[in-house]
Amino acid sequence: MLLKLLILDRDGVINYDSDAYIKSVEEWIPLPGSIEAIAQLSKAGWTVAIATNQSGIARGYYDLATLDAMHARLRELVAEQGGEVGLIVYCPHGPDEGCDCRKPKPGMLKTIAQHYNVALTNVWFVGDSLGDLEAAKAVDSQPVLVKTGKGEKTQAKTLPVGTLIFDDLAAIAAELIHN
């Protein structure tokens, strides 16, 4: 049976983003409807994985324990709604470290695909930044832009051909669950 895999960016898609980075669990605040959307997708048989840049680690704004606490909180909130979150992959590196995982490079998407032993072709990758969409395009996944977070600013840029646009994660869940 083909795995129904959906990959999400984190900041600006699941939780509010900030130009000052999300530096603590207290600053990690879910966007309206995002927790419910993930839980509904999970209960409808979707595997929801996450690929997130976290250069704030390299910049020293917060540590790995804090990052893990944010993700534990996310998992706890989704579990309270009867759903579950799949693999969470993050890039802790800074923009100048030349790693393979920082979006727009597709390294994290490849890691997720290998973990679930699936191809990335046409798998929806939902993000609010151009780098998210470019990462998707690089591995023939489906770039999906949400207007939350930095999404409306991103929408004004030149997007990869075929990018789908939705208001928010709740609208994406409705589309995937009911179609």
Ligand X SMILES: O=P(O)(O)OC[C@@H](O)[C@H]1O[C@@H](OP(=O)(O)O)[C@@H](O)[C@@H](O)[C@@H]1O
Q: Which residues bind ligand X (CB under 6 A)?
A: 9-12, 17-19, 21-22, 52-56, 95, 129
From the list 128, 58, 62, 67, the residue with the least C-alpha distance to 96 is: 58
Q: Does residue 78 interact with Zn ion by CB under 5 A?
A: no
Q: Which is nearer to ligand X, 16 or 177 (CB)?
A: 16
Candidates 31-39, 69-77, 85-93, 119-127; binding stretch for Zn ion (CB under 5 A)? 85-93
- For residues 172 and 144, the answer to whether their CB atoms sit within 8 Å is yes
Residue 128 is among the residues annotated as catalytic for this protein: no
Q: Which of 87, 73, 89 is nearest to 35 (CA)?
A: 73
Is residue 101 involved in binding Zn ion (CB under 5 A)?
yes
Which one, 129 or 163, has the nearer CB to Mg ion?
A: 129
Single residue of 6, 12, 22, 109 touching Mg ion by CB under 5 A: 12
Number of residues that bind Mg ion (CB under 5 A): 5
* 9 a catalytic residue: yes
Cβ contacts of residue 13 below 8 Å, gap of 6+?
31, 34, 126, 127, 128, 146, 148, 149, 169
Among all residues, whose Cβ is closest to Mg ion?
Answer: 12
Quick check: 168 binds Mg ion (CB under 5 A)?
no
Cα torsion 163, 168, 169, 173 to 10°: value is: -80
Q: How many CB atoms lie within 10 A of CB 69?
A: 15
Query: Quick one: DSSP state of residue 149?
Result: T
- Site residues, Mg ion (CB under 5 A): 9, 11-12, 128-129
What is the set of active-site residues?
Answer: 9, 11
